[in-house]
Amino acid sequence: MSDFSTPKPNRSRVSKVPQTPINIPPSPYMKKLGFGTGVSVFRWDRSPRPDAVRSPWALKKLNKRDMPQVFEQRLQKEAELLKGLKHPNIVGFRACVPGKDGRMALAMESCESSLADRIEDRRNDEAGPFESDTILKVALGVARGLDYLHRQKKLLHGDMKSYNILIKRDFEEIKICDFGVSMPLNADGTVIDPDNFVGTSVWSAPETAGLCDEPVSSKVDIFAFGLVLWEMIALEIPHTDDLEESNMDISITEADLENRIGTRPALPPVDLDDGYNGIMEIFYCCTEEDPNSRPSAEMLVEWLEDLTGENPISMDKSQ
């Protein structure tokens, strides 16, 4: 997760959060799933009730009780947004309350791992690019979630990357998470307050990196979506595949990396069969420098449903 701009205090938002603490176990007794700026995410296996089994929750907690107020405000902003989202490809909201230690905790639907975890595992196993049908399955799930955010909720995710895509079981469910830097969109898809846009640099689109004179819009998520497809083939974080020292003891410099931000990374030298043709076409379209040349999320959904043969989802499907 990246740095973010300090929002103005909103006392009314703070007052909406329930003040009844829940009995959250101490952090060392829960499995740590990830971390971000000022927060950590844990899996909480809740005790079963006498009449029912309780599903596990993912808890995003502030790292310290006395952290600057901005971190709590950001967590509460995410909770308010997530509470209003309901889609099978968006992680489900459960609660946002203080724990016994006084630290705010955002409770969400729990998933086994992030896409970034799966990429790291595959890289460690030296298994090569993900199978084309797996990439298409992830792409369709994410595209459906983005289409819902962009068209129905008029919301830019703003930090689309493999770390913010959650996976259940054997890629059976795909969920977008982490709405801490999301921003509202105008009717034309542009960001209402572009000066406060924040993303993660290596997934940045050209217009947010100052490489083209176009407004920040929903197409920022589309560019990052294209880089997620690249991640599943290259098994690396974009633009950092040669950060490690080479045989000549030469490594990429910080200036070199800065020059790559907002550009389309080169594909690694791997052999891809014809099953990847559609994926490659989507990757190139999504990572066009001109955002007007990139497809919308709605177009991606139609394209991917055609490639996979999947029928449109029913919005009545519960999380």
Query: Is the distance from CB of 167 to CB of 156 less than 8 angstroms?
Result: no
For the stretch 101-156, pLDDT in tens is 777 788 888 887 899 999 999 999 999 999 999 999 999 999 999 999 999 999 99
Query: Is the distance from CB of 114 to CB of 34 less than 8 angstroms?
Result: yes
- Tell me how many degrees the CA angle 125-129-131 measures, rounded to the nearest 5: 105
Give how far the C-alpha of residue 202 lies from the chain's centroid of Cα atoms, to the nearest Å.
13
Among 66, 117, 121, 159, the one annotated catalytic: 159
Check if CATH label 1.10.510.10 holds for domain 113-308. Answer: yes
Does 159 participate in catalysis according to the annotation? yes
Q: How far apart are CA 282 and CA 71, in angstroms?
A: 36
**What's the chain's length in residues?**
319
- Counting Cα atoms < 13 Å in the Cβ hemisphere of 129 gives 23
Predicted pLDDT at 260: 87
Q: How far apart are CA 284 and CA 40, in angstroms?
A: 34
The domain locations on the chain are: 27-109, 113-308
Q: How far apart are CA 114 and CA 228, in angstroms?
A: 12
For the stretch 62-75, pLDDT in tens is 777 666 677 777 88
Check if CATH label 3.40.50.1980 holds for domain 27-109. Answer: no
Query: Is the distance from CB of 18 to CB of 97 less than 8 angstroms?
Result: yes
* pLDDT-based confidence at residue 95 (cuts at 50, 70, 90): confident
CA distances from 29 to 25, 26, 34, 43, 303 (A): 6, 6, 15, 10, 45
Burial class (CB in 10 A: 0-12, 13-18, 19+), 72: middle
Predicted pLDDT at 62: 77
The residue written with tokens 């000549």 in the block is 248
Mean pLDDT over each residue of the chain, to the nearest integer? 84
Query: Is the distance from CB of 108 to CB of 94 less than 8 angstroms?
Result: yes
Q: Tell me the one-letter amino acid at 94.
A: R
Total-model pTM: 0.83
Percent of the chain topping pLDDT 70: 82
